[in-house]
Amino acid sequence: MKGGITSMDIKAELISLLSNIGTGKMSGSAYDTAWIAQLGEIDRELSNQALDCLVEDQLPDGSWGAEKPFYYHDRVVNTLATMLALTRHGRRALDKRAISAGIKALEQITSTATRGLKADHNGATVGFEMIVPTLVEEAEQLGIISQQSDRILGRLGRSRIKKIEMLKGSRISRNLTFAFSSEMAGLDGQNILDVANLQENNGSVGNSPSATAYFALHVKPADQKAMSYLRSISTDGGVPFAAPFDIFERAWVLWNLSLLEPEKLDDEILACCKPHLDFLESSWKRGSGVGFSASYTPCDGDDSGVTFDTLVQFGRNLDIETLLCFEEKNHFLCYPLEANASISTNIHILGALKNGGFERNNPSIQKVLKFLRMSQISGKYWFDKWHVSPYYPTSHAIIACQGLDNEMCSGPISYILETQNEDGSWGYSDVPTAEETAYCLQALIYWKTHNGQVSQNQIKNGINWLNEHAVDPYLPLWIGKGLYCPQYIVRSAILSALGMALQEIGGKV
C-alpha cells in the first residue's frame, strides 16, 4: 500500500482482513513454546519442533523475548523458561551452543534484575510474581543461575510462598482467571487446583498453552484432551500465549472500523462485518458480558466494554446494565481480585457508556473521568498494564473522553503533537512503529473531526509515513505473559487511521 491512499486500496484491504479474522492471529511466545518443548516424554515430535523454534528465535545477545522494545519482565520470563527447556531436553550440538549463549545472557539479566524490573513503567507481565519464582528455583537446582537469595528474584520466591499459603482453602477452577496461569502452582502448590473443573471444553486450561502444557506434564500426565488442544494450536513448533482469542480479535478489529462510522462504510464491507457482529452478539451473556474468547469461561471488563461499544455503534442493542457489574467504588474492574486497575479497561467502558446513552453527569461516567484524571501522568498521557506504549491508552482516552471532558483531552492532544517525529511517525521506544502512529492519527483525526483544532500538516505527515510503513512485521507491544502482537488487531488500527484520513478529505471507504 505505497503511494497515495485510494478508496479501492482501503476497501480491498478491509475486506481481506475481515475475511481472515476469527480464532485469532498472534505472534509466537518463547515462554509458552518452552513449555511445549518439555513434553518430550509425551510427544517427542511436538517437543522437537518446539526446541527447533526456540533455537531459531534466540536473540543475538543469547536471550529470548522481544528484541524491540526491550522489556525486562519479558526477557526474564522468556529466557528462564527457554533455558530450562533446552537444559532438560536439548541434545543436539546447536542446542548446546544455544545453552552456552543463554547462560551468559541469564547471568547479565539476573545481575541487573533489581534495577531492570523497576524500569518497566507498566509493571509485571501476566502472572510474573507467581510464575518466575518456580522457574528461578528450578534454574538454581540445575545450576543454570546462581542462588538469588536476597536479590529481587529470590525475594519473589518468598512472596510466592506467602501467596500460595493465602490461597489454601481456595480452589482454582476454570471459573477463575487464576486458571490462565495454573503453572504458578508448580509442584508444591497443586492442592489449590480444582483439577476436575480446571479444563475448558476445548481441553485447554484457560486457553493458555503454557498452563495446558503444565497440566499435561504435572497434573494429569499425557491428558488426551490437553494434548489434542496443544497439537491443534502449534505452528511449526511455536505457540502463542493465548489461543483462541476469537472475541478479543473481532471486537478490537470492529471497534477500529467503527471509527470510520458504520453509516459511511461501503455495503460490501458492512456485509463482511455482519458475521463477526453476529458472533459477538451471540457470545454476550446478560449479567456477565464476555471474555477474550467464547471458549474461555471468565468474563472481563475490557472485552465486555469494547464488545458493547462496537455492537452499539454498529446498531446492535445490548443491556448496558451488564457493564455495571464491573463497577467498583472508585473505578471499573477488568478482572475480579486484580492487583491494580487497568487504565484501558476504564477508558473502554467509558466509551461504551457514552455510546450506550449515558450522559456526562451520570455517576458512573463521572467516576471513570475522576479515575482517569487521577491516573493521568503530568496531565499528558497514561500507561496501562496491557500495552507497553502510552500512545495506546492515551489515544483511546481522547476518543472516549471527547464530549465528556474535553479539557482533560487538551494535554494528551498536545503530548501527541509534541512527540511526533520529524518524519511524521510516533514511537515511545527506540523505533517508530506503524501501530503507535496509527493510534496517534486515529486520536488526532477524531479530535479534529469533532473540534477542528489540530494541525492538518501534522496529520498529513503522519499519514504519509504510515502509508509507507503499513505492512507487517509489527513489533510486539502488547503485554501478556511476555510481549506479543495480535497482528490483525494492529492491522485494523492502521487501516482505520488511513481510512479516517481518506474520509476527512471527502473520500469513501
For the record, the C-alpha cell of 167 comes out as 490461597
Mean pLDDT over each residue of the chain, to the nearest integer: 92
Q: What pLDDT sits at residue 3?
A: 44
Give residue 141's pLDDT band: very low, low, confident or very high (50, 70, 90): confident
Give residue 155's pLDDT band: very low, low, confident or very high (50, 70, 90): low
Give the CATH class of 7-24+244-504.
Answer: mainly alpha
Q: What pLDDT sits at residue 430?
A: 80
The bridge status of strand 483-484 relative to strand 478-479 is antiparallel
Q: Which residue, 223, 247, 170, is CA-closest to 489?
A: 247
- 7-24+244-504 against 30-233: fold identical: yes
Could you please state the CATH topology (level 3) that the domain comprising 30-233 is classified under: Glycosyltransferase (1.50.10)
> Would you say residue 487 has pLDDT above 90?
yes
Q: What pLDDT sits at residue 140?
A: 83
Check residue 119 and report its DSSP letter: T
Q: What pLDDT sits at residue 158?
A: 64
How does pLDDT run across 375-416, given as a tens digit for each residue?
A: 999 999 999 999 999 999 999 999 999 999 999 999 999 999
Q: What pLDDT sits at residue 167?
A: 66
Q: What pLDDT sits at residue 36?
A: 97
Percentage, residues of the chain above pLDDT 90: 75
Q: What pLDDT sits at residue 118?
A: 83
Give residue 187's pLDDT band: very low, low, confident or very high (50, 70, 90): confident
Q: What pLDDT sits at residue 157?
A: 62
Domain boundaries, the chain: 7-24+244-504, 30-233
How does pLDDT run across 78-111, given as a tens digit for each residue?
A: 999 999 999 998 877 888 889 889 988 988 887 8
Q: Which residue, 502, 425, 352, 495, is CA-closest to 20?
A: 495
> Would you say residue 335 has pLDDT above 60?
yes
> Would you say residue 6 has pLDDT above 60?
no
Lowest mean pLDDT among 47-51, 259-263, 451-455: 451-455
> Would you say residue 8 has pLDDT above 60?
no
Amino acid in the structure at residue 334: C
Q: What pLDDT sits at residue 355?
A: 96
How does pLDDT run across 106-132, given as a tens digit for each residue?
A: 888 878 877 888 888 888 899 888 898
Kindly state the average pLDDT of the residues 477-500: 97
Kindly state the average pLDDT of the residues 473-482: 96
DSSP codes, 325-356: GGB-SSSB-SSTT-SS--HHHHHHHHHHHHHT
**Long-range CB contacts (< 8 A, 24+ apart) of 311-315?**
311/277, 311/280, 311/281, 311/284, 312/352, 312/355, 312/356, 313/255, 313/258, 313/262, 313/355, 314/254, 314/258, 314/262, 314/273, 314/277, 315/262
Q: What pLDDT sits at residue 1?
A: 42
Kindly state the average pLDDT of the residues 315-321: 95
**Long-range CB contacts (< 8 A, 24+ apart) of 96-105?**
98/54, 98/55, 98/58, 98/62, 101/58, 101/62, 102/58, 102/62, 102/63, 102/64, 103/62, 103/144, 103/145, 104/62, 105/59, 105/61, 105/62, 105/63, 105/79
Kindly state the average pLDDT of the residues 13-29: 95
> Would you say residue 230 has pLDDT above 80?
yes
